[in-house]
Structure 1
Amino acid sequence: MTSQAAAAAARSAANPYRVLIAGGCYGGLAAAVNLIEKCDTIENPIPIDITIVDERDGYYHLIGSPLALSSVSYSEKAWVVFKDIPVLQRPDVRFVHGSLSKVDCERKVATILEFPDRTPREQSYDFFVAATGLRREWPTVPQSTTRETYLEETRRHIEAVTAPNASVLVVGGGAVGIEMAAELKYVQPHVKVTLAHSRDKLLSAEPLPDSVKDCALELTQQGGVEVLLNHRLLRTTPIPSEKKDGATEEEAAAAYEVEFENGHRLKVTHVIMAVSRSVPTSGYLPPAALADDGYVLVRPTLQLQPSVHVPNADTHFAVGDMISWTGIKRCGSAMYQGLHAGRNIHQMILQDLRRVEGGEIEPPVFMEISPTPPMIGLAVGNTALAYGTDGMKHGRQIMEWYFEEDLGFRICWDHIRLGGLKA
C-alpha cells in the first residue's frame, strides 16, 4: 500500500472528509459533482461525506422560470427532486430539506433548520461551501419549497395569465421582465402582452452598450410584445364589477386599471411585477465575511477573505450569485465557480493526506477565477441575443446555441453532469 493510500485509508468510511454545501442549484451542485469526481480515483479513492442543504426539495432550473410560468408541460420538467438526480444517488451524499441560520467558522459547525417545522440542529464539517444565491421574489422565481406545491403555484399562475381575452402587463424592463414578457407571448400568442419600463432603454441597470439594449428592444417588439419606455408605474387599481357594464369583451375581462406617472392609463387582466431587488442569502455567515451590501467577500480561489473575525477562512468557500465579484450574475459563472471550489477543496484534502503521510508538504495548486467582464445571454421568445468579449450576436441560431428549445435546461444539466459521470 502506498503512503497516500495508507493516509486515505486512515480517513475511512467511518471518518470521511465532511463537506457541507448550502444550496442545491448551479454552483452548489457543480461543487459537489466535481469534488466527487476528483475523490473517486480508482487507485486511492478518498472517503468523503457530502451534505447538501436547500430550501427546495429539488434542483430548480432558475433561468427557465419565464417558460415555467408560461407552460404547464415545461414547469413539470424544470424542477427535479434531488432523489431523481442520478449522479448524486450515492451513500456518501445526502440532502437536507431546510435552511441555515448560522455558520460558526471557528467551531466548523452549522445550525440547520429542517423543514417543515424548522427544527434546529447542529452539523459539523471539515469544508463549507455557501451557494444559496440571491433571495428573489415572486414572480421572478416560484416561492414553493416542494415540487408538489410548485406545480400548483405555477398552474394557478398560468391559468390566470392565459385565460381568454387575457391582457398582461409586465412591469420592469430588465432581463427578467424582457424574458417573462417575450416567453409568455411566444408560448401563448393569444395573450396581449405589454412591457413597461421606467427608463428610456431596456436593460438600463446593466453595464452594457446601447447597441445591446436597442437590440433587446427590437427583438422584444418583433416578438409581438408592446413596449412602453419611460413609463414608471404610479398605481394599480382593481376595477369594480359595476364599472364593466356595457364594456367590450376585452374591457369586461380587465381586472385592473394601471396608471403611470406620465398620465397614461391601461386596463389589463393581470400585472406581473419584475422589478424587485434581489438580495444575497448570506445572513448565516459572519458579518466580517460580507460586504456592506451583503455579498460574500471571496478570494480568486473562492475561499472567504481572511480576517481575524472569520476563523478558518481557508476551509470556507462561496460561489455563485451571492459573492462580491465583477460581471453580471449568470448561471454560467455559478457553475464555473462551483467547479473551481470542488477542485480546490480536493487540493486541500490532498495536502492534508500528505501531512498525515509525514512527508514534505507542498502548498495546494488552486484554480482561480479572474475578473469577469459584462456579458449576457438573453432569450427573447424564439430568438436570442448574446454579448461578451467578442461583441454582440443575435438571431434564432443564437437561441439554439445558448438555450436550445428548453431555455438551457439540457445544457446546464449536462454541463454539471447531473445525469452521471463518464466512466
Structure 2
Amino acid sequence: MSSHFSNISGSDRSIANPYRVLIAGGCYSGLAVAINLLEKCDTIESPIPVEITIVDERDGFYHVIGSPLALASSSYAEKAWVKYKNIPVLQRPDVRFVHGTVDKIDPESKTAVILEQPNKVERPEVYDFFVAASGLRRVWPVVPQSATRKAYLEETGRHINAVVNSTAPVLIVGAVGIEMAAELKEVQPHVNVTLAHSRDKLLSAEPLPDNVKECALELTQQTGVDVLLNHRLKSSTPVVKEDGTELHEVEFENGHRMVASQVVMAISRSVPSTDYLPAASLSEDGHVKIRPTLQLAASDEVPNADAHFAVGDLINWSGIKRCGGAMHQGHYAGLNIHQIMLREMQGKEPVFQELGHIPPMIGLAVGKNALSYGGEGMKHGKQVMEWFFEEDLGFRIVWDHLRLSGTKA
C-alpha cells in the first residue's frame, strides 16, 4: 500500500503555476470541497495559489432534496435551481465551471477527458488533485433529468400541470415517493393522492427501527394521502375517455384495481455515477472505495491514489445517503487537500480529518411535519420540520451552510 503522500509533485507554486483541482460534480459535496478549500487557501498568513474546475452535467446547483416540492410548486421550482454563474461565492477568476461530464480519468498522468455540452466535445484537463463528487444517477421523477435550468422549468411545469388538472387520483408508486406525495397534497390539497408501496412498511429498504417506519406512515396519512401497503404494481394501462382525457387502469398483484389520472413511478433505481473512475477503485456495485481521509483506497492498481478523493453519495461507506453527510465529507476533503498542499509548500506534517463510522440517521419531511432519527432516537412534529427543513425543504439552510452568498454563516 502507498503512503498518504506518494507521487504528489512538490514543485514551486505561483499565480502562474497554481494547484489545479478538478471536481466532478457541483452539488452538495462538490461545492463543499471547493468552498472549504478556497477558504483555507485564501488565508493571509499562508496563501496558496489554486485553480478549481467544477464539471457538472447541469448548468446550475440543483437542490436535490427539494425535488418533491419542485414537482408540486412552480414558484419553488424557480428557486430550487440556481445557475452557477449566479452563485456569488464562486464568482472569482480561480474558479471555473464546465457544463459537461467527466468521461474518464488517467490517475497516473493526472489527466481527465471532459465531454463538454452541448455537443459532447472532448477536451483534456490536467489536474493535481481530483475529486469524484458526481453522486448517484437517479431516475425521473425522483429528480428532474434536464441539464439546463430552462429545460428543467419546462419539465417540472409539464408535470405540475398534469397533476394539478387530475380528474382521478394521482398514484405515486414506491416508498421514495413519501415526500413527493405529501408535498403534492400539501401544495395542491384539491388533488387526490395515493401512495402505493409493495412492502408492509414504509422506508422498508432503510436500516431503521419499526417505530420510525410506523411514524412515517402516520404522518403521511395525516396529510390526507391514501397509503396502500403490500401493493406491488402489476400493470398500468392507458385508456382514453370520450372527451379525450387519458386515464390509467391500474392493477396490483394482490388483485386490487383502481383508476388514476397519473401514475408516478417513485422507485429508487439509483446507481453510482462512477464510470469514469478506474475499475480497481470501485466496489462490486460501483461505489468508490475510500480511506477515512476520503482519498481513494490505496491500491497498486490505482496510481497516485493519494491525490484522488471521493465524496458524497457515491462512496462505499456506512450510513444512509444524506445531504448533510455529503457536505460534511466535502468539508473534510477540502481540508485534507489543503493539508497536502501545506506539506509540499512548507514541509508541515499533515493533520488529516478522518471520516468515522456513520450510524443510520434520517430526516424526512412529510407535509407540515417531519421526523428525524439518529443518536438521540426519534423525534417528529412541526418543530422538527422547522429545525431540519424550515419552509423550503432545507434550501435556505443548505445555501447558508455552504456560504453560497459569499458571506460566512
Taking structure 1 as the reference length, the TM-score comes to 0.93
Deviations 1:293-337 (A, max 9, x none): 000000000000011110000010000000000010000000000
In structure 1, the residue matched to 2:201 is: 201
In structure 2, the residue matched to 1:186 is: 186
Distance in 2 separating the partners of 1:304 and 1:143? 29
Tell me if the contact between 1:167 and 1:268 (Cα under 8 Å) persists in the aligned partners: yes
Tell me if the contact between 1:254 and 1:268 (Cα under 8 Å) persists in the aligned partners: no
* RMSD of Structure 2 on Structure 1 (CA): 1.5
* SS at 1:239 equivalent: strand
Structure 2: 5+ residue stretches without partners? 1-9
Superposed, which structure 2 residues align to 1:229-240 within 5 Å?
229-240=229-240
Distance in 2 separating the partners of 1:160 and 1:295? 36
In structure 1, the residue matched to 2:362 is: 376
Is 2:54 the partner of 1:52? yes
Distance in 2 separating the partners of 1:164 and 1:310? 53
**TM-fit CA distance, 1:362:** 4.5
Superposed, which structure 2 residues align to 1:117-136 within 5 Å?
117-136=119-138
Give the counterpart letter for 1:327 in structure 2.
G
In structure 2, the residue matched to 1:93 is: 95
Superposed, which structure 2 residues align to 1:321-400 within 5 Å?
321-354=313-346, 361-400=347-386
**TM-fit CA distance, 1:276:** 3.4
In structure 2, the residue matched to 1:143 is: 145
Deviations 1:249-270 (A, max 9, x none): xxx9561010000100010100
**TM-fit CA distance, 1:167:** 1.9
Is 2:251 the partner of 1:255? no
* SS at 2:162 equivalent: helix
Distance in 2 separating the partners of 1:43 and 1:366? 20
Tell me if the contact between 1:376 and 1:387 (Cα under 8 Å) persists in the aligned partners: yes
In structure 1, the residue matched to 2:259 is: 267
Is 2:310 the partner of 1:318? yes
Deviations 1:159-217 (A, max 9, x none): 001115352000002xx310000000000000000000000000000000000000000
Query: Could you say if the C-alpha distance between residues 348 and 36 of structure 1 is closer, same or farther in structure 2, counting changes exceeding 3 Å?
Result: same
Tell me if the contact between 1:167 and 1:254 (Cα under 8 Å) persists in the aligned partners: no
**TM-fit CA distance, 1:12:** 1.6
Q: Could you tell me the percent identity over the aligned residues? A: 69
Distance in 2 separating the partners of 1:412 and 1:283? 28
In structure 1, the residue matched to 2:283 is: 291
Tell me if the contact between 1:37 and 1:421 (Cα under 8 Å) persists in the aligned partners: no
Task: Find 1:404's aligned residue among 368, 383, 390.
Answer: 390
Tell me if the contact between 1:50 and 1:93 (Cα under 8 Å) persists in the aligned partners: yes
Tell me if the contact between 1:17 and 1:48 (Cα under 8 Å) persists in the aligned partners: yes
Query: Could you say if the C-alpha distance between residues 254 and 217 of structure 1 is closer, same or farther in structure 2, counting changes exceeding 3 Å?
Result: farther
* SS at 1:378 equivalent: strand
Tell me if the contact between 2:141 and 2:266 (Cα under 8 Å) persists in the aligned partners: yes
**TM-fit CA distance, 1:43:** 2.8
Tell me whether 135-144 or 268-277 shows the greater mean CA deviation: 268-277
Distance in 1 separating the partners of 2:180 and 2:373? 20
Superposed, which structure 2 residues align to 1:137-176 within 5 Å?
137-163=139-165, 165-173=167-175, 176=176
**TM-fit CA distance, 1:144:** 0.3
Query: Could you say if the C-alpha distance between residues 187 and 166 of structure 1 is closer, same or farther in structure 2, counting changes exceeding 3 Å?
Result: farther
Distance in 1 separating the partners of 2:336 and 2:396? 26
Tell me whether 94-103 or 42-51 shows the greater mean CA deviation: 42-51
| Number of corresponding residues | 400
**TM-fit CA distance, 1:363:** 3.1
Rg (Cα) greater in structure: 1
Tell me if the contact between 1:254 and 1:267 (Cα under 8 Å) persists in the aligned partners: no
